[in-house]
Structure 1
């Protein structure tokens, strides 16, 4: 055997400390963004049936929830609102006293340093469940842009630090950037859902956000999972229109796309570790089929390795505890 010539890669794996010294990809608390589902009413703290550990919370529970998040060292949250009333135009999305706006004011008063990202879409607020104005069964692109800009301005006025439009209308970043600038919010960045696929992994989220379409699907505005070059075109358009971050959603089945977005654009890339990815792990762990902690860490590290700078994840609190 002495005449064999080969590399001894195992030399760098012989102890925990040595493995840590040569680790190429790290996950930090600062990388995590935790989603919150805020609902109207009071005394509401109810678990989402399809998402164990995720809750609908009313404003009277927000302070305690956010205090836990801050104490864990998480620096940012993304707010989703579930209104009591819906209409064809999603008017509660851009109402100055809408649920996201009220939650933002409350959180900013108590936790001014926490970064609040406002999800900017209409689907939770429309009675038809689509992300834009509907006319004769079609989702209208251009008339929707004004409502999205109004929503973004209202959220910024309430104190949101970042606007995160998720609607996938063409031109939505340009419309929101102009709306924010004209309203005096030139320093409020846009975290665009630049690459958002029409995915079956969103099912539990629609349960949480009460946003299931009442007819049809979202394939006329969300992307075909088979398409790769289209993702780069979408991201390029958002960069040109003024986006400051680029989200890839979902994350786990689109790591190849995330890497290409990272390699082609100079903006921070955000992975959205979506509800279906979360619920599958929770279900398998509850059945004793997997080691939840090890699976979660491996999955989030894969997103970082693929190019994600930040990760929106329902596991954020769990991971923050693991990292402590």
Structure 2
């Protein structure tokens, strides 16, 4: 007796598979991270992230134009300042590197959405995401004093033309503090993309090379989430929604697709997944050694994030993925 149901009928050819495909990745899902540094005509390769560079503002503008031409709707900016201090001055100063880069991009490519990573670790001498108790070498950030710095940073970024504020420090109450600061400064229409569930992950290593943001002592486990916790992620999400978040982020993505799914089920807000540096570098290393088909692995991985529930995907593969998706549509 032959089976009544034959699912293979709908897998018979490429056009049939495309016709019944449940999850479709498009260029509209992608956000491209960029690292801004002081100077001019600088494109410094990040050794642990093949194809990724630290870029001066003029080069950031060139990349922004290329990204826009590919149809990618948004970039997210990270800054590496010339000097660092205990007050994270480079994060909130009007002449900060992210502020300069954002203003230049918005002038050159006004149709491109500019997101700013709103954190302090790149700007502090110690590499932590806020004020520290000087007597505590564990890396325990003083939460409430840090909120004032994040608030100043967000307002300064909005004044520079940033379209979306993305706080990533995992401070308690940071969304509420930033929302209040933006509203008071006349930026009530500027949305917040909160890193609502950011885990203390080993996948961040290459990023810390790119952003020069590795902690000088201790670690970030007193403020980033424990990788073993899922219910806590939903609690963080609920708090951020109550405080005024417009969008939510899960970071990393690859090892946390169950969290992406749970967050998507728990909210009606857009959910972003950050395909982080370690995930990117593993794929690049394997591809450079000829062990995998890079194009197929990247598209499969990005599609899996969307299938898990991500509406937006921050990824260093964005430019290549956009090109591959365009070729597939020709």
Above 0.5 in TM-score? yes
Match of 2:321 in 1: 319
Match of 1:52 in 2: 50
Matches of 1:64 and 1:221, distance apart in 2? 36
Contact 2:27/2:325 (8 A) holds in 1: yes
Q: Within the alignment, does 1:110 sit opposite 2:108 as a pair?
A: yes
Match of 1:275 in 2: 277
From 142, 149, 152, give the equivalent of 2:151. 149
Contact 2:35/2:79 (8 A) holds in 1: yes
Contact 2:165/2:191 (8 A) holds in 1: yes
Matches of 2:110 and 2:66, distance apart in 1? 15
- TM-superposed deviation, 1:5: 3.5
Matches of 1:5 and 1:242, distance apart in 2? 53
From 241, 245, 250, give the equivalent of 1:248. 250
Q: Within the alignment, does 1:87 sit opposite 2:85 as a pair?
A: yes
Matches of 2:203 and 2:88, distance apart in 1? 24
Matches of 1:228 and 1:157, distance apart in 2? 36
Matches of 1:4 and 1:52, distance apart in 2? 51
1:194-234 deviation digits (Å, cap 9, x = unpaired):
00000000000000000000010000000000001000000
What secondary structure does 2:292 align onto? coil
Contact 2:283/2:294 (8 A) holds in 1: yes
From 212, 216, 219, give the equivalent of 1:217. 219
Matches of 2:190 and 2:297, distance apart in 1? 35
- TM-superposed deviation, 1:64: 1.6
- Runs of 4+ aligned residues of structure 1 deviating over 4 Å after TM superposition are none
Contact 2:34/2:60 (8 A) holds in 1: no
Matches of 1:191 and 1:180, distance apart in 2? 13
1:1-324 matches, cutoff 5 A: 3-135=1-133, 136-137=135-136, 138-324=140-326
What secondary structure does 1:144 align onto? helix
Matches of 1:15 and 1:188, distance apart in 2? 46
- TM-superposed deviation, 1:67: 1.4
1:241-293 deviation digits (Å, cap 9, x = unpaired):
00000000000100001000000111000000000000000000000000000
- TM-superposed deviation, 1:96: 0.5
Which consecutive residues of structure 2, in runs of 5 or more, have no partner in the other structure? none
1:161-220 deviation digits (Å, cap 9, x = unpaired):
000000000000000000000000000000000000000000000000000000100000
- TM-superposed deviation, 1:314: 0.1
What secondary structure does 2:132 align onto? strand
Matches of 1:129 and 1:5, distance apart in 2? 61
TM-score (norm 2): 0.97
What secondary structure does 1:73 align onto? coil
Of 132-141 and 204-213, deviating more is 132-141
Matches of 1:194 and 1:168, distance apart in 2? 7
Kindly report the root-mean-square deviation, in angstroms, between the aligned alpha carbons of the 2 structures. Answer: 0.7
